[in-house]
Amino acid sequence: MASAINPRLPRIWHGGDYNPEQWPRATWDEDMRLMQESRFNVATVGVFSWVSLQPAEDRFTFEWLDEVLAKLTAADRFVCLATPTMAHPAWMSQAYPDVLRADDTGVRRHHGRRTNYCPNSPSYRRFGRAIAERLAQRYATYPGLVAWHVSNEYGGACYCDTCADKFRQWLHAKYASLDELNQRWWTAFWSHTFTDWSQIEPPYNNGETLTAALTLDYRRFQTQSMLECFKLERDAIRQHSHDVPITTNMMGAYVHLDYRAWAPELDVISWDCYPWPSADPGDIAFLHDLHRSLKDGQPFMLMEQTPSSQNWQPVNALKRPGVLRLWSYLAVAHGADTVMYFQWRRGRGGCEKFHGAVVEHGRSPSTRVFNEVSELGAELERLGEATLGARTPARVAVLFDWENWWAIDSAVGPINNKEYVATVRRWYRALWRRNVGVDVVFSDSDLSRYDVVIAPMLHMVKEGVADRIQALLERGGTFVTTVFSGVVDETDLAFEGYPGPLRPLLGVRIEEVDALYDGQTNHILMSDASATYACSRLCEIVHAETADVLATYAEDFYAGTPVLTRNRFGAGQAYYVATDPEDAFLDAFVDKLLAHHGIAAPLEAPPGVEVAVRERDGQRVLFVLNHTAETTHVPLPADPSYRDLLRGMAVTGKLSLAPRDVRILLLSS
Amino acid sequence: MASAINPRLPRIWHGGDYNPEQWPRATWDEDMRLMQESRFNVATVGVFSWVSLQPAEDRFTFEWLDEVLAKLTAADRFVCLATPTMAHPAWMSQAYPDVLRADDTGVRRHHGRRTNYCPNSPSYRRFGRAIAERLAQRYATYPGLVAWHVSNEYGGACYCDTCADKFRQWLHAKYASLDELNQRWWTAFWSHTFTDWSQIEPPYNNGETLTAALTLDYRRFQTQSMLECFKLERDAIRQHSHDVPITTNMMGAYVHLDYRAWAPELDVISWDCYPWPSADPGDIAFLHDLHRSLKDGQPFMLMEQTPSSQNWQPVNALKRPGVLRLWSYLAVAHGADTVMYFQWRRGRGGCEKFHGAVVEHGRSPSTRVFNEVSELGAELERLGEATLGARTPARVAVLFDWENWWAIDSAVGPINNKEYVATVRRWYRALWRRNVGVDVVFSDSDLSRYDVVIAPMLHMVKEGVADRIQALLERGGTFVTTVFSGVVDETDLAFEGYPGPLRPLLGVRIEEVDALYDGQTNHILMSDASATYACSRLCEIVHAETADVLATYAEDFYAGTPVLTRNRFGAGQAYYVATDPEDAFLDAFVDKLLAHHGIAAPLEAPPGVEVAVRERDGQRVLFVLNHTAETTHVPLPADPSYRDLLRGMAVTGKLSLAPRDVRILLLSS
Amino acid sequence: MASAINPRLPRIWHGGDYNPEQWPRATWDEDMRLMQESRFNVATVGVFSWVSLQPAEDRFTFEWLDEVLAKLTAADRFVCLATPTMAHPAWMSQAYPDVLRADDTGVRRHHGRRTNYCPNSPSYRRFGRAIAERLAQRYATYPGLVAWHVSNEYGGACYCDTCADKFRQWLHAKYASLDELNQRWWTAFWSHTFTDWSQIEPPYNNGETLTAALTLDYRRFQTQSMLECFKLERDAIRQHSHDVPITTNMMGAYVHLDYRAWAPELDVISWDCYPWPSADPGDIAFLHDLHRSLKDGQPFMLMEQTPSSQNWQPVNALKRPGVLRLWSYLAVAHGADTVMYFQWRRGRGGCEKFHGAVVEHGRSPSTRVFNEVSELGAELERLGEATLGARTPARVAVLFDWENWWAIDSAVGPINNKEYVATVRRWYRALWRRNVGVDVVFSDSDLSRYDVVIAPMLHMVKEGVADRIQALLERGGTFVTTVFSGVVDETDLAFEGYPGPLRPLLGVRIEEVDALYDGQTNHILMSDASATYACSRLCEIVHAETADVLATYAEDFYAGTPVLTRNRFGAGQAYYVATDPEDAFLDAFVDKLLAHHGIAAPLEAPPGVEVAVRERDGQRVLFVLNHTAETTHVPLPADPSYRDLLRGMAVTGKLSLAPRDVRILLLSS
């Protein structure tokens, strides 16, 4: 039951952003030829075309787009058609200033850059909906259309008066009474009690920056405001285009938008993957798993990646030969059903003229990058639909939650350097290094399919979370959480005693939290004397109530007190890690959890070699990725038998992988 | 002649901030019980209660406060009653926008945070005075009232149009004529001459930032504007409450407010002591001595300190066990007659929910912190009134002056890194390490009681200062000043020749000042060949006129020229230290000064053990504080005899102090 | 054919800024006496005198200036008369707010500091022109007048509405049609197409910051706007004063102003030389050569330098003894015909009261600084007119271009740390270390007099540049350019293939550019195995087309590919250096180029000893400058013979130079 994103194109899509409106017509024909040569088969068109499609409020110029789409069809290419609403035209800002975003002091910005609109602007919403609808009306029946791409990289926040007004309405709807809001926000502190709704303002940087509950609600309000923009366009499109999937491209662990709240509104998740050139592949894998998990495992689109270098980082190193292919398959291994680029052709001007592209300024197809893209395109054709729609089996989950992130970041104390995302990533990577499938879960996720759930720094414990964890434990599952957990509820009110609703599950009580200066450490002394590990940043002083003490602090006035505890609850076990341990601890700890549940890697592989699995219709496909710059070997068990999908042949014995090489194996047991 | 702050409560007050308005009534009874258990006997109430007491312009709700005070009385607790004017209600900002402060470009801020009012706002002053008066009318006769706490931590600065107008009036009153102002401010420079009073503006960050005399006067104006706010409230209270002392809490070496100018208006000094967790206790001692010296030795209130951790620093380490007690007695040793906390109970929300409190979120009294507080409370009860009103004997003084600080900081050149306060602290600490009593003096202080006055970086020499130093010298005293001294007068006009009016006293002329890069040093070569010391940052090229040269530079083109000089003047000696020397120099130099005047520590103690003295009615009380984490021993001379006030027994021979332990000894000679 | 700046004073001018309006009349007579004593013979008067000359719109007070000029004449001093328009009076800002500059968000600043006017303000221009004209009318015939100094240190940029309007007009005039502008600026990118001229705004920091072509044009517009201010005043002066040279003081490699575009409008270049105390003298030499080259070799005025220390740097070290003289002759050696200071007398107030001056606050003439100034003054008198008007012979040129700088800095990618100016300086210093004469050239310079032209990072290749380089090559010259060259045209549009128009000349094609993290290196492996050099920051991947490969990369995936190429073109050679090499490479490479062209130093000198040449009327004067703190020796060849101009005697054999000493030798062959 292979399920392509769109059955019109049942293979891994290979393509990316294409901006023909920046170029003379003569270039378009060259584009078609080169796209064919490089197996670039899906062009994302229209992302920044608003002024080209609507040069004045009442004038529309779709003719060039008609022509481009016709050429793409003629060249046997497909189209991911974007609405152009990320970057609105200057004429709009000029005629309808409410369109412009205001900065965090409430001052309206000048026109410029992009994502510079107010998501609550009536004018923006009216124009945005209208252009989306016109595109849908005109192109719904375009034969090459495989997906709708609404706007682009939603993000940021606006603090204009329109937003302020709507925020007050939003709060009124949420809290019903001012008393309730004042109580939930604990406004009696510092005499912040509101006596009229009209007194409430956004968390202006030169205003109320220190009421965390206000900041939290404003973040919720802004992510919802932008989601409303998306939905307006999506609904307008859907009226005319009934069966083409609609998406918008996300940006990983992006602080401003709670993508989990967005996911149900998208037909398919898509995202733009721009790691640092020196990134750990485990961190990239985490982000792929995050996006796959947004819709609970549904395969996603890799909408953008650079074929060579980025341009907006402090240092934009080139992707080394083979890395484009390696990281493309990394995405596929973790659930991507597309491999797409930003962008097809480098513009001669604009701030991204030094961003990598398939076709460089020199227009030559005989470049390293064009060749790597073309070879990958050809290879993806050979792979065909073998992996399409396949799911990632995972018995382990790591919990990540945007609102928890916001709450942790807005907490004043006990340390500035809170590192929520980095901490989640470190726990994730310990699992990733073991080559076991990992899902990301959220506070609202169903945990019933997991054996192990690790929730680093679960500071905010929302309604229902403790119940779901309890169910996990009762049926024999393992739950882990760490320092600074169980502290606040959904409006950032502290529980009267930590870890709040997790206390009966974890069997511990937290009395104090100590903060360590950079470079300062304490140590974790395992009670079985098996090892000692460094820990840093935060050290909680814990009382074991019903929990067993598995390790204690080695130093300072709390030496000998618990730092690692295990509470047997139901048939399961709940661990508390009261500090931020070094990686060696994570590795050893994770090994024990996996062993306890009999969770093992699909293949034994040397360090730096990743093995990931996708499954469909009872078939398993293994991705073996050599992230190292060395040739390496992976022994294959005699049974089951493996078929190399790219080479089209059976493999046995020992798999040899060249530096940065990838193998894709179909298991037949 | 013991003199308690308020004879109603003749003991060391033990208490702190209490915010019942944030909690349901049920909590109040728990509060009373726990306060009794912890000997928390003075509750500071009302600091942030404005909106709770006055939820609308014409509506007042004192009933809850009546009830709280009644409960406190019933529980035998006392009250430090605060006016709530630090944090004004949102309704006030909304109805009277002139209440809001403007930032340093003159742009009005949004409502939020606290201390967000304009000190010259007519509305703010009207409302502030009124609420203070109403509180005084209602509670003047409240039996548990022991002190009035006006507003809270005055600070910052406003740059609104109201302030600008009043500033011009203030300048007109000060200088009478524009010609005088132009001359004093040296405005002919860069064509800055004002031809009409209306042209003068505050030193806006996007305006005139480089006229130091303007900046200086604006600082004076702002500190006085806030002092006027204090006086308005104080006078309103005094009309109804005649014998309860009135204070406001200060914040140490806080740049915005010239506390010396404030001191005469307060009945008793109080301050909030929030050192870095890793602070040198000598720096804390300096701040206690500074506050004690603001009213020339009168004991002060330690109004706030955290029982455990702060929350607003980058890293908020816990106070280690014993540190709360140690640092509390450090305050008492230096003149405090109260030991008070912020705060009684942690709020569940608000930006200080991670600030330490006596009662934590867990509400439990069986915490380390609650226990330490309770034990200290019990101990303070045992100490009784033995130290109350006692004075600190000091023959040595260190000069610190806010206006001097402002002048140094606004000087452009010769180095960015001026470090006035750090330099004062370093000199202070050299004396503190010798366990001799030190007063802080100011430019206007009477110096007649001192043998030694050290004035590091006395850049601004005000009217009368040279005369007072001359008198000190004539009667045999010692005066020391250091690099960058004697440069400007009170309006920041440079003297024509440095060190200005100090030149005849010091017997030197400064020709040039060299600035050294970070990490660069010169050396101080003692003329008696006794030692060589590193020096850094600033090196002046000095000509000894009547002074003797005690040391010369070892390096660079000014090698061999004077760096330390001594001028015999009258019966005294005036030293000039033309650079910023390392601590070893300060230690050796200070030793010689003390030896010369026969000033010795009250006890010989090993490094890290402080000995401080308070005297009253001919009785001396010694505080012996072990700041180390080691057990240590202090030999006691056979005569006089010592009585341990906490243990209630005589001690002889050798005093053994556990890590961070404190002994309080009464001398009977 | 000696040509003095003004024949009235045919010697090296020795003087500087004099601000008598800050001082009482009594001081003026002291000034005259001390000026005579120190041979301070040219006083720059009036720089900041606007409010002193025009205290109200309709009131003028020239009398004090009359008196000062009379005193100067009586004292036999000369005058460089300044217009006071850098710092406008407060009354003007108050009455005509359009005078005030707006910050980069378009918000008008408050009055204050200096250079705080809008260069396009009609009021500013009207008042500026008028005061210049009045000064010219009154003082054109003043006998001591030797130069006009228009305003002072033009700089910065304004973003007010007046500027925005004029910018749109300027663009309209430049591009004629919006289509042309949209195409050149590549505005289709991110939907930035303008559909009406009125939509274009300055590159506000809270607006359009990312359209590099807009930023570039705004820089051009602002430099031209300020130049128009200069020309307005200059023309007003010229109407009344026909033969006195007119200048304004420049500031080296100052980013805001394209001084090359200014140079034709000035009669003589003048500049203010304020190196870091720790500056490499080669960097100072570069700036002197830059200013000399602005008018293609015409000698320039050193208008300002500090006699001792600056005050606005983080650390303002003193000039060591001898450095003032050494650096003064460094200027003369590179083309200066004046040695002037900021300033004569330190003001007692104002933000420059700690800036070095000839007369310090102590008013004493018996200071080290006053003595050094006086001795230098006397020596310059002895030197007489020997060097006046003499030219610097140079067969080598380094290309520096402001618009190229702006383009490089506004490029987003491939690395943040672009270092254009630092790179130019590094190449310059390699030549300077060889003691060969070097001119700075610009994109519009005639290259016909040079054998070698080095153009580091010639990113923007303007019209005609490739032609001029081609001509250089055809006649046997050598051209060198380096990484990131040949990328964009004058409106920042990327060429379709790098290095654009330089490709046929260099015989290479650039495929990719790799960026290296700080601390990361690759290596340059010389093909003749002569050496290996480190390189860093940027490494381009180059294809040699017609060029020979002289060196290859040693590491990474592009190991073995070209990093240094030489293309034989016409009779010449064009080198491409595809990376940023260490100094050792530059030294070796430059040696080969010089050897090829038989270009040698005028004398063999040890490291740290500079030898520079000026020529006039067939006579050569050699400046030998010992930049080290050691005594050093320079052997003189037997022929020609040398005459020491300062000592007035012949020298032969070996020249001995004390630390920081200078010799000036006249060659007679």
- A32-49 pLDDT, tens digit per residue, is 999 999 999 999 999 999
What is the residue-averaged pLDDT of chain C?
97
The tokens of A322 are what? 């083979």
Chain B residue closest in CA terms to A540: B318
What residues form DSSP beta bridges with C79? C43, C145
Helix (H, G, I), strand (E, B) or coil at A579: strand
User: What residues in A contact B127, CB-CB < 8 Å?
Assistant: none
How many C-beta atoms lie closer than 10 Å to residue A637's C-beta? 10
| pLDDT over 70 percentage in chain A | 100
Whole-number pLDDT of residue B669? 63
Residue type, B74: A
Chain B residue closest in CA terms to A415: B315
Of the candidates B310, B320, B367, which has its C-beta nearest A557's C-beta? Answer: B320
Cα C347 to Cα C367: distance, rounded to the nearest angstrom: 17
Whole-number pLDDT of residue B153? 98
Which tens digits make up the pLDDT trace of C533-567?
A: 999 999 999 999 999 999 999 999 999 999 999 99
User: Are A316 and C413 an interchain contact pair (Cβ–Cβ within 8 Å)?
Assistant: yes
The H or E element spanning position A180 is helix A178-184
The tokens of B47 are what? 């600091």
Residue type, C320: R
**Under 8 Å between Cβ of C74 and C93:** no
CA distances to B157, B406, B494, B643 from B421, in Å: 20, 11, 21, 38
Cβ-Cβ contacts under 8 Å for C58 (sequence gap 6 or more): none
Total residues found in chain C within this entry: 669
Strand residue runs (E) in A176-263: 246-247, 249-250
Chain B residue closest in CA terms to A512: B318
User: Are A207 and B109 an interchain contact pair (Cβ–Cβ within 8 Å)?
Assistant: yes
Whole-number pLDDT of residue C668? 80
Cα C402 to Cα A208: distance, rounded to the nearest angstrom: 44
Phi, psi of B24 (to 5 degrees): -70, 160
User: Are A314 and C417 an interchain contact pair (Cβ–Cβ within 8 Å)?
Assistant: yes
Q: Are strands A649-651 and A641-644 parallel, antiparallel or unpaired?
A: antiparallel
Sheet holding A609-616, edge to edge: A609-616, A619-626, A662-668, A641-644, A649-651
Q: Output b/e per residue, A535-566; b: 16+ Cβ within 10 A.
A: bbbbbbbbebeebebbbbbbebbbeebbbbbb
User: Are C206 and A49 an interchain contact pair (Cβ–Cβ within 8 Å)?
Assistant: no
CA distance B283 to chain A (A): 20
Phi, psi of C553 (to 5 degrees): -70, 145
Of the candidates C184, C190, C199, which has its C-beta nearest A94's C-beta? Answer: C199
Cα A581 to Cα A534: distance, rounded to the nearest angstrom: 6
Cis peptide before C414 (omega within 30 of 0): yes
Helix (H, G, I), strand (E, B) or coil at C33: helix
- ipTM of model: 0.96
Which tens digits make up the pLDDT trace of A507-520?
A: 999 999 999 999 99
Of the candidates C191, C206, C416, which has its C-beta nearest A89's C-beta? Answer: C191
Of the candidates B208, B492, B517, which has its C-beta nearest C113's C-beta? Answer: B208
Classify the phi-psi angles of B297: left when phi > 0, otherwise alpha if psi is within -120 to 50, otherwise beta: left
**Under 8 Å between Cβ of C385 and C5:** no
User: What residues in A contact B93, CB-CB < 8 Å?
Assistant: 199
Residue A2 has pLDDT above 80, yes or no: no
Cα C474 to Cα B140: distance, rounded to the nearest angstrom: 100
Residue C2 has pLDDT above 80, yes or no: no
**Under 8 Å between Cβ of B627 and B606:** no
Residue type, A581: P
Residue C183 has pLDDT above 80, yes or no: yes
Classify the phi-psi angles of C617: left when phi > 0, otherwise alpha if psi is within -120 to 50, otherwise beta: left
First-to-last CA distance in chain B?
A: 19
User: What residues in B contact A492, CB-CB < 8 Å?
Assistant: 349
Cα C156 to Cα A664: distance, rounded to the nearest angstrom: 60
Q: Are strands A42-45 and A78-82 parallel, antiparallel or unpaired?
A: parallel
pLDDT, average across residues C9-20:
98
CA distance B186 to chain C (A): 5
**pTM of structure:** 0.97
Residue C1 has pLDDT above 80, yes or no: no
Nearest of A497, A588, A585 to residue A542 by alpha carbon: A497
How many C-beta atoms lie closer than 10 Å to residue B592's C-beta? 12
Residue C78 has pLDDT above 60, yes or no: yes
Quick one: angle between helices B583-596 and B420-432, nearest 10? 50
CA distance B113 to chain A (A): 5
Cα C33 to Cα A556: distance, rounded to the nearest angstrom: 73
CA distance B262 to chain A (A): 25
Chain A residue closest in CA terms to B355: A413
The tokens of A585 are what? 């601890």
**Under 8 Å between Cβ of A389 and A4:** yes
Chain A: touching chains (3 or more CB pairs < 8 Å): B, C
Nearest of C468, C431, C432, C474 to residue C594 by alpha carbon: C431
Cα A232 to Cα A147: distance, rounded to the nearest angstrom: 17
The tokens of A406 are what? 């916001």
CA distances to A613, B243, C255 from A651, in Å: 17, 96, 63
Of the candidates B49, B309, B347, which has its C-beta nearest A186's C-beta? Answer: B347
Q: Read off the DSSP letter of residue C477.
A: -
* Owner of token pair 């200078």: C662
Q: Read off the DSSP letter of residue B609.
A: E
The tokens of C643 are what? 């005459």
User: What residues in B contact A411, CB-CB < 8 Å?
Assistant: 353-354
Residue A269 has pLDDT above 50, yes or no: yes
Residue segments in chain B with a per-residue pLDDT below the cut of 70: 1-2, 669
Cα B322 to Cα B659: distance, rounded to the nearest angstrom: 8
Cα B516 to Cα B531: distance, rounded to the nearest angstrom: 22
User: Are C368 and B493 an interchain contact pair (Cβ–Cβ within 8 Å)?
Assistant: no
Which tens digits make up the pLDDT trace of C458-515?
A: 999 999 999 999 999 999 999 999 999 999 999 999 999 999 999 999 999 999 999 9
**Under 8 Å between Cβ of A482 and A457:** yes
A639 confidence band (pLDDT: 50, 70, 90): confident
**Under 8 Å between Cβ of C6 and C149:** no
CA distance B216 to chain C (A): 12
Catalytic residues of C: 153, 304
**Under 8 Å between Cβ of C205 and C104:** yes
Chain B: touching chains (3 or more CB pairs < 8 Å): A, C
Nearest of A540, A566, A544 to residue A553 by alpha carbon: A540
How many C-beta atoms lie closer than 10 Å to residue B245's C-beta? 18
CA distance B270 to chain C (A): 37
User: Are A112 and C212 an interchain contact pair (Cβ–Cβ within 8 Å)?
Assistant: no
Chain B residue closest in CA terms to C323: B557
Nearest of B358, B367, B300 to residue B333 by alpha carbon: B300
How many C-beta atoms lie closer than 10 Å to residue A47's C-beta? 28
C-alpha B508: how far from its chain's center?
Answer: 33
User: Are A113 and C185 an interchain contact pair (Cβ–Cβ within 8 Å)?
Assistant: no
Which tens digits make up the pLDDT trace of A51-109?
A: 999 999 999 999 999 999 999 999 999 999 999 999 999 999 999 999 999 999 999 99
What residues form DSSP beta bridges with C338? C13
**Under 8 Å between Cβ of C397 and C445:** yes
Identify the residue among A103, A109, A325, A351 best suited for mutation to test binding to C, counting C beta carbons within 10 A and taking the highest. A351
User: What residues in A contact B362, CB-CB < 8 Å?
Assistant: 496-498, 509, 511
User: Are B354 and A199 an interchain contact pair (Cβ–Cβ within 8 Å)?
Assistant: no
Instruction: Tell the burial category of A1 from Cβ atoms under 10 Å away from its Cβ (0-12, 13-18, 19+).
Output: exposed
**Under 8 Å between Cβ of C523 and C535:** yes
User: Are A493 and B349 an interchain contact pair (Cβ–Cβ within 8 Å)?
Assistant: yes
Of the candidates A204, A412, A518, which has its C-beta nearest B311's C-beta? Answer: A412
CA distances to A532, B258, B269, B370 from A562, in Å: 14, 48, 44, 21
Nearest of A191, A177, A411, A397 to residue A296 by alpha carbon: A397
Classify the phi-psi angles of C652: left when phi > 0, otherwise alpha if psi is within -120 to 50, otherwise beta: beta
DSSP output for B606-624: -TTEEEEEEEETTEEEEEE
Whole-number pLDDT of residue A669? 63
Classify the phi-psi angles of B205: left when phi > 0, otherwise alpha if psi is within -120 to 50, otherwise beta: alpha
Phi, psi of B398 (to 5 degrees): -115, 130
* Owner of token pair 């680093």: A456
User: Are B193 and C278 an interchain contact pair (Cβ–Cβ within 8 Å)?
Assistant: no
**Under 8 Å between Cβ of B344 and B18:** yes
C-alpha A209: how far from its chain's center?
Answer: 27
Whole-number pLDDT of residue A1? 39
Helix (H, G, I), strand (E, B) or coil at B375: helix
User: Are B90 and A195 an interchain contact pair (Cβ–Cβ within 8 Å)?
Assistant: yes
